[in-house]
Amino acid sequence: MKLSITTLPGDGVGPEVTAEAVRVLRAVAEIYGHEFTFDEQPVGGEAIRRHGTPLPTSTLDACLAGDAVLLGAVGSPDFDGLPPGERPEAGLLTLRRALGGYANLRPVVCHDALAGCTPLRAERVAGADILVVRELLGGLYFGEPRGFTTGGDGRASAAHNTMRYTVAEVERVARVAFDAALSRRRRVTSVDKANVLETSRLWRETVSRVALDYPSVALEHLYVDACAMHLISDPRRFDVLLTENLFGDILSDEAAVLAGSLALLASASVGGEVDLYEPVHGSAPDIAGRGVANPLGAISSAALLLRHAARLEREAQDIEAAVETVLRAGYRTPDIARGSGGLGAVGTSEMGQRVIEALAEVADMRHAYHAV
Ligand code: IPM
Ligand code: MG
């Protein structure tokens, strides 16, 4: 299969982890006989430095011309003084909207090998397996009007954002969640704040209506505050967790604790013109450039890319199996080294290399199995 992938390494640890994900994809292409091409483009702070804008037209055009986009991270303290609309993050938000992927899938799995490295009791988190489906193009992130109100002294005296959802926006993301539940444990938890917010009332009513089309899927509604608590106290009760943009941003970071590290989480933004794949972790400027960042979230994002954008399920599963193998063998980047009984910390590129070696073994085993 031929696949052209636009890579946007971005800021902080983005380039380091993206390099490993690309290496893994190249290995996949070689092992399974595919042709993947990569077109690297600037985004975020990197793009501001080089082009004066966080999302140059050339970057967006390249993204729209390819089959899928693989992004590292955006954000840099160098631009903390800029207004929201000019920061590196604004580049990512504009990109998300331009590509059109409204459903952001964030799988959260507690690998047995890492159950001891979360701050929670291992017996509570082992086996947790949640798919967060976050609405990505609506709510407070994009609602208008937004802005600052300037007082007489020229300084901001107030600020406002708008939380807005249409029925159509809720419906389409709800369908993604219910469809996903069909091939999982058939349970959707829809999270809102319907005791306070009109947008949440609309959300709840709409999701309940969509649920009628999925009689085999159990739907429960949960307020976001209660959900935050249950995620930590009883994570195994969740299967698919469906929620709006800001709640999803917050709850997915919280859910990352179940996996052992935010750096393990991958995401796919689907439903638009071109899918966008990115690890959930940010640019982590404090550890950038030191070769210690965990590339597994980026590598797992590459697996999601193969699954969703290319329908290469076998290849996606083999990358995931390789990641599992490496973790079971005890290899750990510093973020997951503590309390996990690992072999001591390895760096970013060694971790990538271990995944590639494990991938070759997984593929060999698959080959041997089919040859029998
Ligand atoms: C995420 C990030 C982004 C978001 C930031 C970098 C704009 O936190 O993908 O979760 O808020 O969506
Ligand atoms: Mg976030």
Tokens found for residue 227? 């959900």
Give the integer Cα–Cα distance in Å for 116 and 111: 10
Find the distance separating the first CA and the last CA of the chain, reported in whole Å: 26
* Nearest residue (CA) to ligand 1, atom 4: 249
Q: Would you say 260 and 111 are in contact if contact means Cβ atoms under 8 Å apart?
A: yes
Catalytic site residue 129? no
Listed residue (120, 127, 49, 154) closest to 91, CA to CA: 49
Cross-strand partners of 206: none
- Reading phi first (left if > 0) and then psi (alpha if -120 to 50, else beta), residue 351 is in alpha
Cross-strand partners of 131: 107, 240
Give the integer Cα–Cα distance in Å for 203 and 194: 8
Mutational test site, ligand 1, from 76, 87, 92, max ligand atoms within 8 Å of CB: 92
Give the integer Cα–Cα distance in Å for 8 and 14: 8
Give the integer Cα–Cα distance in Å for 26 and 145: 45
> Residue 367's pLDDT is what?
80
CA of 337 to the centre of ligand 1 (A): 25
How far CA 342 is from CA of 293, 328, 339, in Å, comes to: 17, 9, 8
CA of 253 to the centre of ligand 2 (A): 6
CA of 352 to the centre of ligand 1 (A): 24
* Nearest residue (CA) to ligand 1, atom 5: 89
Catalytic site residue 193? yes
- Sequence-distant (≥ 6) Cβ neighbours of residue 334 within 8 angstroms: 292, 294, 345
CA of 213 to the centre of ligand 2 (A): 31
Give the integer Cα–Cα distance in Å for 287 and 21: 18
Quote the DSSP letter at residue 331: -
Catalytic site residue 225? yes
Pocket residues for ligand 1 (CB within 6 Å)? 74-75, 89, 92, 249, 280, 282
Q: Spell out the domains of the chain, with CATH numbers in brackets.
A: 1-101+265-372 (3.40.718.10), 118-259 (3.40.718.10)
Quote the DSSP letter at residue 67: S
Identify residues whose C-beta is under 5 A from ligand 2, the ion: 249
Which is the closest atom of ligand 1 to the Cα of 93? 7
Three-state secondary structure of 232-251:
HHCHHHCCEEEECHHHHHHH
Give the integer Cα–Cα distance in Å for 332 and 198: 45
CA of 333 to the centre of ligand 2 (A): 21
CA of 329 to the centre of ligand 1 (A): 32
Looking at 249, 275, 318, 335, which residue is catalytic? 249
Give the integer Cα–Cα distance in Å for 127 and 318: 20
* Nearest residue (CA) to ligand 1, atom 7: 89
Cross-strand partners of 223: 192
Catalytic site residue 253? yes
> Residue 338's pLDDT is what?
73
- Sequence-distant (≥ 6) Cβ neighbours of residue 192 within 8 angstroms: 200, 203, 204, 221, 222, 223, 224, 243, 244, 247
**Which ligand sits nearest to residue 75's alpha carbon?**
1
Read off the pTM: 0.94
* DSSP letters spanning 19-63: HHHHHHHHHHHHHHT-EEEEEE---THHHHHHHSSSS-HHHHHHH
Mutational test site, ligand 1, from 89, 132, 141, max ligand atoms within 8 Å of CB: 89
* DSSP letters spanning 113-159: GGGGGSSS-HHHHTT-EEEEEEE-SSGGGT-SS-EEEE-TTSSEEEE
Give the integer Cα–Cα distance in Å for 238 and 240: 6
> Residue 345's pLDDT is what?
87
Per-residue pLDDT of the chain (372 residues; tens, 9 = 90+): 999 999 999 999 999 999 999 999 999 999 999 999 999 999 999 999 999 999 999 999 999 999 999 999 999 999 999 988 899 999 999 999 999 999 999 999 999 889 888 899 999 999 999 999 999 999 999 999 999 999 999 999 999 999 999 999 999 999 999 999 999 999 999 999 999 999 999 999 999 999 999 999 999 999 999 999 999 999 999 999 999 999 999 999 999 999 999 999 999 999 999 999 999 999 999 999 999 999 999 999 999 999 999 999 999 999 999 999 999 999 999 999 876 555 668 999 999 999 999 999 998 888 887 775
* Nearest residue (CA) to ligand 1, atom 11: 249
* Nearest residue (CA) to ligand 1, atom 10: 249
* Nearest residue (CA) to ligand 1, atom 12: 249
Core vs surface per residue 313-331: b (16+ CB within 10 A) or e: eebbebbbbbbbbbbeeeb
CB atoms within 10 A of CB 259: 26
Pairing of strands 266-270, 275-279: antiparallel
Looking at 102, 165, 193, 277, which residue is catalytic? 193
Looking at 61, 78, 213, 225, which residue is catalytic? 225
In a 10 Å sphere around its CB, with 0-12 CB exposed, 13-18 middle and 19+ buried, how is residue 2 labelled?
Answer: exposed
